[in-house]
Amino acid sequence: MDHSMTTTCLTIPGYRVVHTLGVVRGVTVRARWIGSQVAASLRTLGGGRIPEYIELCEQTRGEAFAWMVQHAEQMGANAVLAVKYDATDLGNNMTEVLAYGTAAILQPE
């Protein structure tokens, strides 16, 4: 699926929704590596950006998004509408990230 066919909106300009196929999701759980956790903890003393956590968040969201797109493709969709993310702490060191949206079949107008 072309990633331009995924959106947080309910429509994609230039396309019409022919059929919705239901909710699709991608879930991943990640734990922070102890080395990056120590480095990030030291950075919090000075404030500002914490690259170790930013990288972890980007990788985790990207993985959840990829699973969501794969789920949509398995259902026969060519688009995912109303994409959202959610995150839940599962313990001291683990976070679940969920990407979800509505699988749809779109056609050019």
Domain boundaries, the chain: 3-108
| Dist CA 59 CA 46 (whole Å) | 24
Over residues 6-22, mean pLDDT: 97
Checking if the pLDDT of 34 tops 60, the result is no
Distance of alpha carbon 2 from alpha carbon 79, whole angstroms: 8
Instruction: Say how far apart CA 10 and CA 6 lie, in whole Å.
Output: 10
Percent of the chain past pLDDT 70, that is, above it, reads 83
C-alpha to C-alpha distance for 92 and 101, rounded to whole angstroms: 28
According to CATH, the topology of domain 3-108 is Translation Initiation Factor IF3 (3.30.110)
CA distance 93 to 62: 19
| 52 pLDDT tier (thresholds 50, 70, 90) | confident
How far is Cα 21 from Cα 32, in angstroms, rounded to an integer? 35
